């Protein structure tokens, strides 16, 4: 599935989708960042199987709205 790009609060994001045995993995990359947030959507839970792409996009865009803008610490 092709990546999806969107903007939230003036920041650009790109989502990469990966199909795995259990469902879908989405990696959300913030423009200019070097880390990604990983979202998992198991089969039959969390997305509409009749419109997978739009469901995954909606879930990722909703997640970005509540992600902490402070980068994670590295120990």
What pLDDT was estimated at residue 50?
Answer: 85
Annotated domain spans of the chain: 4-64
- List, in sequence order, every residue forming a beta bridge with 29; answer none if it has no partner: 14, 36
For residue 72, what pLDDT band results from cuts at 50, 70 and 90? low
Per-residue pLDDT of 33-60, as tens digits, reads 888 899 998 887 767 778 899 999 999 9
Sign of CA dihedral 19, 62, 57, 72: negative
What pLDDT was estimated at residue 70?
Answer: 60
Per-residue pLDDT of 58-71, as tens digits, reads 999 999 988 866 66
Tokens 């509409």 belong to which residue?
48
Closest by CA to 69, choosing from 31, 17, 18, 16, is 31
What pLDDT was estimated at residue 24?
Answer: 92
pTM: 0.82
């Amino acid at each position: 599935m092709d990546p999806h790009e969107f903007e939230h609060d003036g920041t650009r994001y790109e989502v990469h989708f990966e199909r795995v045995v259990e469902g879908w993995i989405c990696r959300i990359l913030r423009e200019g960042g070097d880390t990604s947030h990983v979202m998992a959507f198991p089969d039959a839970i969390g997305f509409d199987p009749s419109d997978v792409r739009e469901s995954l996009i909606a879930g990722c865009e909703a997640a970005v709205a509540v992600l902490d803008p402070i980068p994670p610490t590295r120990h």
